[in-house]
């Protein structure tokens, strides 16, 4: 069911090309609907947000803003093992992301001039958390922790209510543990619009992060520029590089852990061993039988999965760099030797025990990663995603006098005589 | 002609609101034209690019790719003072941007686990340089130097030919000095599409940077995701904060150096001194009389300029933070004391001699800055704009065994049982 492709310079290129076409254009009908929601919320504020919530979610939630004591109660009433698991994750995520913090710098020159760059956290950040089965506490951790480390002053979460109008308790627990400042029960494009423009109650933010359905994603894309956004996420993928030393049981399980996300997800094994390829196929069949989301897994593997059999490990490296996968597993002997050659990947998992879910939940690096081949130029979410920079320049009269002729000459070459004038008037 | 506004909590808010509305939506007609150009170039390659060049620029250029010896000749034949001025700028820009380089990091833990983040330069970057009067050699410097420092392997410049079909020599000089690798004579949306998808001769790049007209800007916006882009630039602005110690001659000149860029540019003086306000108005009239681009300056100052008179310096600081200007000048006594309170600005110019054109051409910080209030969340172009990151994780069997229960618990809470399975199979 998962197809085998033999590297011949044609079939594998064709397969990667097909993958690229998964993403597709923004749907015009969705854009029209979302544009209208944005306009209505911009003008109508909270009343408009609530009207949409009632329309799309069936009823108004228990509260618009979740009271602090409801969050605290969720924390004290939660399963201690769950809280403990999240606390262990938080410790690892915090340790890793602390190492990403940028520093301001300054160059104080001997002639009295001062040149520098200051780095600060954004003021306010909006965090979208989807409802239903896609409400992931781990996603709260991965977005809120780097924001906090960057120095963001206020994190405002928006999330749709459960069917009974109450908030999802697991999400509240994660929000409470990560120091999310305020939680509003509102989802969809209307919540994104509220964060972008601000309403009477929901603060206007500087950046919106977090996953969402097509309406949420389209709203973020349309409002990019009014606010910053994390990324335009497309279908996700895993590429596993494995040689004959890899365990097919592990390979099959990891391919399927990606495939269960979404019918459009892509799981690819690139291997130098035909024996491993066949054993992996058998393991996929065996394990899939007992997995809950087997329908999604089957569809995804049949349509966007592949086992690519290549002749050398160099070919496998080339293929990984060409694919630029979100997740890249290296199940080669001596996996660390390959890090320096893997140029395009969101996150790289090295060795038999660095299974992809380890990165999703626990190890520390972020799980919000560039998808659909965009690891060629985009990077994982991180502390720097929540930082802003300003440069600053202090100059002395004498230093400007030294620079004057150069500046005036280039400004006049460019036809910008008012630029030249601004320097000249200082020495008239 | 430049209006005075007295701070009263209403008029200045109204003025800033008006400014926000300068940017406006992407024009639908332009989008349709650009979409067609993109499709045609994607399918038709170089032949399509050349056909558009002939159509829009009137004739085919002397060469499609500028030969290396033509660039070398431009360098040897250039005015030595001009070359020298650029070399001085290059030295300062290089010194400043060298300080921005990110480092890879690694955490080698006692239990044998290894967590890290590697940083590399993008592989290929496309640099757009507009034609006509907007062909700025300084813009080549500000884009190419940080790319080189980030480790970008190949910089491909595209630029439309002059009317006689030859390349702009000043641009070639700047390109030669900065180590631009290849130069193609092609402009407009067709050049952007060629860089995004690649043609027979023009390489497919990972990121496109550089300013351009509405067609170029729209093409970049539409192709965002296929490639990375620098930013969606809107109309630009300067905000000058000045007290009674400031020289009105300098203030007026700096306001006009911004106003000459564009009719939509905005130049704002925020001052605690009514005397300075009136003296600045007189200086604007006097200096404007002899400036070449007086029509643009007049239009811009009348429509988007203002002198805001406030009661305290604190009010002025608040106003600067609210406006989030691209360029912020502080002509207060002891200007350095204010850096820590100025949260939203692309670049901050401190004191009487840090005139804005000093930053445009010479001092070292980048002149590609967030415009139209987006300094609230966007940052200046820099070395990190040309870097990409990948995280990596190596785990031991024993460490995963310790983490196993936590990961499985959270994965199952999230309903992702194939994720849980990927961990469990490793210990069956």
Q: What does the pLDDT average to over B74-81? A: 97
Check residues B35 and B235 and name the one with the higher pLDDT. Answer: B35
Please report the pLDDT score of residue B258 as a whole number: 96
Are A395 and B354 a contacting pair at CB < 8 A?
Answer: yes
Nearest CA distance, B63 vs chain A (angstrom): 24
- Radius of gyration from C-alpha coordinates of chain B: 25
Q: What does the pLDDT average to over A371-391? A: 96
CA B43 vs. chain centroid, Å, equals: 30
Please report the pLDDT score of residue A24 as a whole number: 55
Answer yes or no: is pLDDT of B144 > 80.
Answer: yes
DSSP tag of A8: S
Please report the pLDDT score of residue A57 as a whole number: 84
Q: What does the pLDDT average to over A9-16? A: 89
Confidence of residue B307 (pLDDT cuts 50, 70, 90): very high
CA distance A339 to A39: 47
Check residues A355 and B13 and name the one with the higher pLDDT. Answer: A355
**Closest Cα partner for A145 from A173, A177, A122?**
A177
Q: Which residues, in sequence order, are bridge partners of residue A269? A: A240, A307
Q: What does the pLDDT average to over A381-408? A: 98
CA distance B298 to B260: 9
Answer yes or no: is pLDDT of A354 > 60.
Answer: yes
Instruction: Return the beta strands (E) in B231-377 as ranges.
Output: 237-242, 266-271, 306-309, 327-331, 347-350
Q: Is the dihedral of CA A413, A419, A420, A423 positive or negative?
A: negative
Nearest CA distance, A69 vs chain B (angstrom): 23
In chain B, how many H helices and how many E strands?
15, 14
Over the stretch A51-88, which tens digit does the pLDDT of each residue have?
A: 999 998 888 898 999 999 999 999 999 999 999 999 99
CA distance A333 to B81: 59
Domains in chain B, start-ordered, CATH in brackets? 4-23+235-363 (3.40.50.1980), 28-229 (3.40.50.1980), 395-427 (no CATH)
Residue B242, classed as helix, strand or coil, is strand
Over the stretch A130-154, which tens digit does the pLDDT of each residue have?
A: 987 778 999 999 999 999 999 999 9
Mean pLDDT computed over every residue of chain A: 95
Spatial contact of A89 and A138, defined as CB atoms under 8 Å apart: yes
Are A393 and B358 a contacting pair at CB < 8 A?
Answer: yes
Are B377 and A122 a contacting pair at CB < 8 A?
Answer: yes
CA distance A183 to B144: 44
Q: Which two tokens stand for residue A366?
A: 């972020």
φ/ψ region of B130 (left if φ > 0, alpha if ψ in -120 to 50, else beta) reads beta
CA B128 vs. chain centroid, Å, equals: 12
Over the stretch B378-417, which tens digit does the pLDDT of each residue have?
A: 999 999 999 999 999 999 999 999 999 999 999 999 999 9
Contacts of B15 (CB under 8 A, 6+ apart): B5, B306, B308
Q: Is B327 a catalytic residue?
A: yes
CA B262 vs. chain centroid, Å, equals: 16
Answer yes or no: is pLDDT of B33 > 60.
Answer: yes
Q: Which two tokens stand for residue A17?
A: 């090309």
Please report the pLDDT score of residue B62 as a whole number: 86
Residues A12, A326, A329, A387: which is the catalytic one? A326
Q: Is A327 a catalytic residue?
A: yes
Check residues A399 and A17 and name the one with the higher pLDDT. Answer: A399
Answer yes or no: is pLDDT of A19 > 90.
Answer: no
Answer yes or no: is pLDDT of A25 > 70.
Answer: no
**Closest Cα partner for A88 from B405, B421, B111, B416?**
B405
Chain B residues touching residue A225 (CB < 8 angstroms): 23, 232, 234, 374
Please report the pLDDT score of residue B44 as a whole number: 97
- Residues annotated within a binding site of B: 128, 190, 213, 236, 258, 261, 327, 360, 414, 419
Please report the pLDDT score of residue B25 as a whole number: 56
Which residue is it, tokens 């015009």?
A28
CA distance A137 to A211: 12
Tell me which of A225, A248, A280, A350 to substitute to probe the interface with B (most B C-beta atoms closer than 10 Å).
A225
CA distance A143 to A368: 8
Answer yes or no: is pLDDT of A26 > 70.
Answer: no
**Closest Cα partner for A349 from A308, A377, A320, A307?**
A320
Are A410 and B346 a contacting pair at CB < 8 A?
Answer: no
Confidence of residue B23 (pLDDT cuts 50, 70, 90): low
Answer yes or no: is pLDDT of A257 > 80.
Answer: yes
Burial A87-113 (b: 16+ CB within 10 A, else e): ebbbebbbebbebbbbeeeeeeeeeeb
Are B227 and A416 a contacting pair at CB < 8 A?
Answer: no
Q: What does the pLDDT average to over A288-300? A: 95
């Amino acid at each position: 069911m998962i197809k085998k492709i033999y590297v011949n310079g044609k079939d594998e290129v064709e397969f990667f090309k097909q993958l690229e076409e998964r993403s597709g254009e923004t749907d015009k009908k969705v854009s029209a609907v979302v544009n209208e929601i944005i306009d209505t919320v911009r003008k109508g504020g909270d009343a408009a947000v609530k009207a949409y919530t009632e329309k799309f979610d069936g009823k108004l939630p228990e509260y618009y803003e979740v009271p602090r004591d409801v969050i605290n109660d969720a924390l004290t009433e939660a399963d201690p093992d769950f809280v403990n698991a999240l606390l262990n994750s938080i410790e690892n995520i915090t340790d890793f992301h602390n190492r990403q913090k940028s520093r301001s710098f300054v160059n104080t020159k001997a002639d009295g001039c001062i040149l520098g760059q200051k780095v600060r956290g954004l003021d306010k950040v909006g965090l979208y958390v989807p409802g239903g089965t896609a409400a992931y506490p781990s996603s709260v951790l991965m977005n809120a922790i780097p924001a906090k480390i960057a120095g963001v002053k206020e994190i405002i979460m928006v999330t749709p209510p459960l069917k009974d109008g109450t908030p999802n308790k697991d999400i509240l627990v994660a929000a409470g543990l990560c120091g999310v400042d305020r939680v509003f029960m509102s989802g969809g494009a209307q919540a994104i619009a509220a964060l972008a423009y601000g309403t009477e109650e929901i603060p206007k933010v500087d950046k919106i992060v977090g996953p969402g359905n097509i309406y949420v994603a389209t709203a973020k894309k349309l409002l990019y520029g009014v606010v910053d956004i994390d990324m335009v996420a497309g279908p996700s993928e895993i590429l596993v590089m494995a040689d004959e030393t890899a365990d097919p049981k592990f390979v099959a399980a990891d391919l399927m852990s990606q495939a269960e996300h979404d019918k459009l997800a892509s799981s690819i094994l690139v291997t130098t061993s035909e024996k491993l390829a066949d054993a992996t196929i058998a393991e996929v069949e065996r394990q899939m039988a007992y997995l809950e989301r087997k329908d999604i897994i089957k569809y995804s593997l049949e349509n966007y999965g592949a086992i690519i059999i290549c002749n050398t490990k160099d070919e496998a490296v080339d293929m990984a760099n060409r694919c630029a996968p979100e997740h890249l597993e290296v199940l080669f002997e001596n996996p660390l030797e390959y890090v320096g050659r893997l140029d395009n990947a969101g996150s790289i998992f090295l060795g038999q025990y660095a299974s992809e879910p380890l990165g999703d939940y626990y190890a520390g690096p972020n799980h919000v990663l560039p998808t659909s081949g965009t690891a060629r130029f985009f990077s994982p979410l991180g502390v720097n995603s929540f930082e802003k920079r300003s440069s600053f320049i202090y100059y002395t009269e004498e230093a400007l006098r030294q620079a004057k002729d150069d500046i005036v000459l280039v400004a006049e070459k460019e036809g910008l005589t008012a630029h030249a004038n601004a320097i000249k008037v200082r020495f008239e």
